[in-house]
């Protein structure tokens, strides 16, 4: 009988607690939250934390959820900070640890939003500086609120490789007076990866390409009114850039010896440095990769002059075949009598 009475009292206590919650400021805020009326929910939950309801961990949890859900506009980051503060207050109020795991998940999911912002700012908005700020905030908050010992090496490699690659792609799209600034930004991002993993393929390739492109710019962007001295000076600077590129490209080649981008970049560097033997070595490797495709293009359209010229070059200089070279030269002559 006593056991039965105890059970009834427990049920009554739960029902009274639920009724009390529904009539509280927190309860009103919760109903508004469920109705997706987040702005008014914020007003009620802010009122709740000014009363005795502030001693209830669930009140702070709900405040964090409401502020985290209120997205868009200039106040979004400010609201996110309030959300994080609320979850921390929820931890303090949870003296028995009943909600420990749940609150930790709230914190983690909120902190990750900074990483999501960093990706969106980089990939969609092309706002690279704000992206990096958001990424650094993500790491800082993660260490402060979730795990102070967490190792971000893997994440850093992924993020800074992506940032370096996006800066690299931007180099070709900006005006000449902006190229050097963007190139430096890309280089800095790639170097951050190299500091973590010196044998990272993508970072080594990108640094190699950045230096090669700089060398090529010195040669191809020459002003027609430049003096002979200026032209010679640019040629020397291009050689310096090509020489800087080679160690990174050679390292990338060791990591992935069949990557076509690496082979073309090395071929181009050695061509710019007038190192003919090495240029021919890499040109031959690239031609071996391309020859089947070129032959197929020729079979599909045997009047494509550019393809025929490329086949003549290959069979004359690298994959030497006198019979095929003669055949394609005659074909070209017949097409251009």
User: What pLDDT, on a 0 to 100 scale, did the predictor assign at position 222?
Assistant: 66
- 3-state secondary structure at position 88: helix
User: What pLDDT, on a 0 to 100 scale, did the predictor assign at position 317?
Assistant: 96
Domain end call among 89, 109, 127 = 127
pLDDT tens digits, 198-254: 999 999 999 999 999 999 998 887 677 788 888 888 899 999 999 999 999 999 999
pLDDT tens digits, 171-192: 888 888 899 999 999 999 999 9
271: its two tokens: 């061509």
User: What pLDDT, on a 0 to 100 scale, did the predictor assign at position 5?
Assistant: 42
**4: pLDDT strictly greater than 70:** no
The owner of tokens 């800066």 is: 167
Domain end call among 97, 112, 127 = 127
The closest of 160, 169, 167, 159 to 116, measured between CA atoms, is: 159
User: What pLDDT, on a 0 to 100 scale, did the predictor assign at position 13?
Assistant: 37
Count of domains forming the chain:
2
Mean pLDDT value across the chain: 92
207: its two tokens: 């640094």
Instruction: Report yes or no on 86 lying in a domain.
Output: yes
User: Looking at residue 225, what DSSP letter applies?
Assistant: T
User: What pLDDT, on a 0 to 100 scale, did the predictor assign at position 73?
Assistant: 77
CA 4 to the chain's CA centroid = 62
How does residue 74 score in pLDDT terms, banded at 50, 70 and 90?
A: confident
User: What pLDDT, on a 0 to 100 scale, did the predictor assign at position 152?
Assistant: 98
| Angle 172-176-181 from CA coordinates, rounded to 5° | 80
pLDDT tens digits, 29-47: 999 999 999 999 999 999 9
Domain end call among 127, 146, 174 = 127
How does residue 1 score in pLDDT terms, banded at 50, 70 and 90?
A: very low
Instruction: Report yes or no on 209 lying in a domain.
Output: no
Distance CA 108, CA 259 (A): 39
**pTM, entire model:** 0.85
Q: In this structure, what is the dihedral angle of CA atoms 287, 289, 295, 300, given to the nearest 10 degrees?
A: -130
The closest of 280, 274, 265 to 236, measured between CA atoms, is: 274
Greatest distance between any 2 Cα atoms in the chain: 114
pLDDT tens digits, 10-25: 333 333 344 455 569 9
Q: What is the CATH number of the domain that holds 121?
A: 1.25.40.10
Instruction: Report yes or no on 39 lying in a domain.
Output: yes
More confident residue, 5 or 326: 326
User: What pLDDT, on a 0 to 100 scale, did the predictor assign at position 6?
Assistant: 43
User: Looking at residue 199, what DSSP letter applies?
Assistant: T
| Domain that includes residue 307, residue range | 289-337
User: What pLDDT, on a 0 to 100 scale, did the predictor assign at position 22?
Assistant: 53
User: What pLDDT, on a 0 to 100 scale, did the predictor assign at position 225?
Assistant: 77
More confident residue, 174 or 2: 174
Instruction: Report yes or no on 76 lying in a domain.
Output: yes
Instruction: Report yes or no on 271 lying in a domain.
Output: no
Distance CA 28, CA 69 (A): 17
Instruction: Report yes or no on 319 lying in a domain.
Output: yes
pLDDT tens digits, 113-150: 999 999 999 999 999 999 999 999 999 999 999 999 99
Instruction: Report yes or no on 182 lying in a domain.
Output: no
Instruction: Report yes or no on 64 lying in a domain.
Output: yes
Average pLDDT for 326-331:
96
């Amino acid at each position: 009988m006593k056991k039965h009475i105890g059970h009834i009292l427990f049920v009554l206590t739960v029902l009274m607690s639920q009724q009390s919650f529904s009539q509280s400021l927190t309860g009103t805020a919760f109903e508004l939250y469920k109705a997706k009326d987040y702005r008014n929910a914020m007003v009620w939950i802010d009122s709740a934390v000014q009363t005795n309801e502030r001693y209830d961990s669930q009140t702070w949890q709900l405040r964090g959820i409401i502020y985290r859900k209120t997205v868009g506009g200039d106040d979004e980051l400010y609201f996110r900070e309030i959300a994080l503060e609320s979850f921390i207050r929820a931890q303090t109020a949870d003296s028995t640890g009943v909600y420990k795991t749940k609150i930790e998940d709230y914190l983690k999911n909120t902190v990750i939003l900074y990483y999501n912002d960093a990706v969106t700012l980089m990939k969609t908005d092309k706002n690279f500086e704000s992206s990096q700020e958001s990424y650094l905030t993500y790491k800082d908050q993660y260490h402060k609120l979730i795990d102070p010992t967490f190792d971000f090496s893997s994440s850093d490699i992924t993020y800074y490789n992506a940032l370096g690659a996006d800066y690299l792609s931007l180099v070709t799209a900006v005006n000449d007076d902006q190229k050097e600034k963007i190139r430096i930004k890309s280089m800095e991002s790639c170097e951050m990866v190299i500091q973590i993993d010196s044998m990272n393929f993508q970072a080594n390739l990108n640094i190699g390409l950045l230096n090669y492109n700089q060398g090529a710019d010195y040669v191809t962007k020459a002003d027609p009114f430049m003096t002979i001295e200026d032209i010679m000076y640019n040629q020397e600077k291009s050689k310096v850039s090509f020489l800087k590129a080679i160690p990174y490209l050679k390292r990338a080649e060791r990591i992935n010896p069949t990557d076509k981008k690496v082979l073309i970049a090395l071929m181009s560097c050695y061509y710019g440095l007038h190192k003919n033997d090495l240029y021919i070595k890499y040109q031959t490797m690239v031609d071996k990769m391309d020859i089947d495709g070129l032959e197929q293009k020729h079979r599909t359209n045997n009047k494509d002059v550019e393809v025929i010229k490329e086949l003549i070059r290959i069979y004359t200089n690298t994959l030497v075949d006198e019979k095929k070279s003669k055949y394609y030269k005659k074909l070209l002559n017949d097409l251009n009598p």
